Amino acid sequence: MLVKAVHAKGLINVDGKLSGKSDPYLKISYPDGKSKRSKEISDSLNPVWNEVITKDINLDYDSAQELLFQVYDSDLVGDQLIGFV
């Protein structure tokens, strides 16, 4: 399976005004419970990844199952969820 992470726009700044902007990355969770992530974009509320993320999947899985896309802010003390679809 190929997923192309293109961009996000207008993310909230979970770092606060004094710390700069968020450092977002995209996490993709698959029906088998495993996940992959994009590269991190430093100091951006409008990240552009333009990255293809690949994963081998079992074609016998139920096609009604969904992928979960989550955007996180990368931090040294723990990543924060910004949003998901």
Looking at residue 33, its pLDDT comes to: 87
- Supply the pLDDT for residue 57: 76
| pLDDT of the residue at 80 | 94
Q: Which pLDDT band, with edges at 50, 70 and 90, does 66 fall under? A: confident
- DSSP, collapsed to helix, strand or coil, labels residue 74 as coil
User: Token pair for residue 50?
Assistant: 């333009």
Q: Which of 52, 54, 57 is nearest to 32 (CA)?
A: 57
Question: CA-to-CA distance for 38 and 59, rounded, in angstroms?
Answer: 23
For 12-62, how does the pLDDT look when each residue is reduced to its tens digit (9 = 90+)? Answer: 998 776 677 899 999 999 888 899 999 999 999 999 999 999 988 776 655
- The beta strands (E) that lie in the chain are given as 2-7, 24-29, 35-37, 48-54, 68-73, 80-84
The whole-number average pLDDT for the span 64-75 is 90
Structural domains of the chain, ranges and CATH numbers in brackets: 2-57+64-84 (2.60.40.150)
Q: What is the pLDDT of residue 70?
A: 97
- Residue 66, helix vs strand vs coil: coil
Q: Decide: 22 and 60 in contact? Cβ < 8 Å.
A: no
75 or 18, which is more confident? 75
